[in-house]
Amino acid sequence: MLNCLPRHRCVSLLYSIPKLTNHVKELHAQLITNAIKSPSLLAKLIELYCDSPYKLVANDANLVFRHFDKPDLFLFNTLIRCVQPKDSITAFQNEFSRGAMVFDDYTYNFVLGACARSPSPSSLWLGRQLHALIGKHGIESDILVQTTKIHFYASNKDIKSARKVFDEMPERSVVTWNAMITGYCSMKEGNEDHAAVALSLFRNMLVDSSGVNPTDTTIVCVLSAASQLGIIDIGACIHGFARKTGYSPEDDVFIGTGLVDMYAKCGCLDSALSVFWRMNQKNVLTWTAMTTGLAIHGKGRQALEIFYKMGSYGVKPNEATFASLFSACCHARLVEEGLQLFHDMKTVFGVTPRIQHYGCIVDLLGRAGRLTEAYDFVLGMPVSPDSVIWRSLLAACKIHGDIVMGEKVGKFLLQLKDQSYPNAISKSEDYVALSNVYASAERWNDAETIRKDMKAMRMLNRAGSSSVKTVNMATL
């Protein structure tokens, strides 16, 4: 425990406290004992409470903010900037309801940032209220707040509102452009359309009269858009642009990783490997991008060879790395290699398998026709199998003509109730799959029984459809 310390000693310790991780609360007590109410020093204490080594966080940091009889805006802004997003939102709502403080542009910027980092319906609702307050208090001209609004709306999948804010801004910084481009690239639905818009925005950025220059973040964003579209010509042009503007993929790990991902997804594995091996630094995302690229093109053995070289570069694989490797083993029918890798995943590499990894092993065994082994594997899983795993096994039973196993798996699937079924149509697909298993074995009576059950439950099957999307290269 710290003894009673003089005032100057408390201040000195406050800035050396990272070396005294067990004395944060004791120092807090000393500040109270010495009646130190300097906002800058108390803000430093809030930062220490919220710094990752401590994780004492919200309650203790909030006590520092309450150190003054009258709320201090600087301390409050420090608090909502440093605590976890949900705690930041809660703190703001509490202070807003008290009505004892007048907020400034920093306050709104930090809370909007918290809403962006914790996307949810409630965060979207709060962010929209903040948007209205910002307009009411005349902070619309602050370019940082406006940029954070774009990031907030994009993170909450409201890309139309984000674009409206962007279009109405009289002035934009490179961070603003990056936020808008990143927002389009991050949209999961309608990826091709949004990726095309992201590239169009990049073109507009280059000819913008304000003279904003792209950064490395911009390059990474547009490389992602090019990889989503799968258009190698655009990706190669961005590669050339990056070199011309001084962003070398050999020295910038993020641009290099983006190029590896783009070339691999566009089918140019030689170019992806060339960039990969010439990079001076590679992180786990780089290795995962390369193994994933090889996996989707059926180069399973080559993906495994690259994976086993990771250790010599001091890089540890993560969950995504193993997911891509299991996919590679599935496509290349490397059953024993995949099983050994699954065994080594936790025992050797210290990565705990998740439900998607178990699903990959079921798919691997199912494709190889080892259905009994796959069935026993599912029953022995330490986590409850979801509908995706059972569907994968049912599809394998149909492919390999194992009607007995298919019937058993199908009945499991029909009895399953989980969040994988967003509507009745999703559930009907399982009835159709089991009906098809019976039909493939010419057990027409059983197939007809399944169809009658569907009609009795008024289940509708999703109609088949196909679509073709075109991209106007002249607009990119």
Divide the 476 residues of the chain into consecutive groups of 10 and give the mean pLDDT of each group: 48 48 58 62 70 52 60 82 86 84 89 91 91 84 90 93 93 93 82 84 88 90 90 92 90 94 93 95 94 90 92 90 92 91 92 93 92 92 87 85 80 64 56 72 73 69 61 55
For 220-271, what is each residue's pLDDT tens digit?
Answer: 999 999 998 888 999 999 999 999 999 988 899 999 999 999 999 999 999 9
For 87-97, what is each residue's pLDDT tens digit?
Answer: 889 888 888 88
The structural domain count of the chain equals: 1
Residue 389 and residue 420 in contact, taking contact as beta carbons nearer than 8 Å: no
Reported pTM: 0.77
Q: What pLDDT is stored for residue 5 in this prediction?
A: 47
389 occurs within a structural domain? yes
Q: What pLDDT is stored for residue 318 in this prediction?
A: 92
162 occurs within a structural domain? no
Residue that is written with structure tokens 């058993």 in the block: 408
H-run or E-run covering 291 = helix 284-296
For 121-151, what is each residue's pLDDT tens digit?
Answer: 999 999 999 999 888 888 777 899 999 999 9
How far apart (Å, rounded) are the C-alpha atoms in residues 164 and 388?
38
How far apart (Å, rounded) are the C-alpha atoms in residues 366 and 224?
33
Question: How many H-runs (helices) and E-runs (strands) does the chain carry?
Answer: 26, 0
Range of the structural domain that residue 411 is part of: 354-461
Residue 46 and residue 27 in contact, taking contact as beta carbons nearer than 8 Å: no
148 occurs within a structural domain? no
Q: What pLDDT is stored for residue 1 in this prediction?
A: 44
Give the count of beta carbons closer than 10 Å to the beta carbon of residue 456: 8
421 occurs within a structural domain? yes
384 occurs within a structural domain? yes
Q: What pLDDT is stored for residue 202 in this prediction?
A: 94
Q: What pLDDT is stored for residue 201 in this prediction?
A: 93
Strands of 72-177, DSSP E: none
399 occurs within a structural domain? yes
Residue 220 and residue 254 in contact, taking contact as beta carbons nearer than 8 Å: yes
410 occurs within a structural domain? yes
382 occurs within a structural domain? yes
Q: Which two tokens stand for residue 458?
A: 């008024």
Q: What pLDDT is stored for residue 463 in this prediction?
A: 61
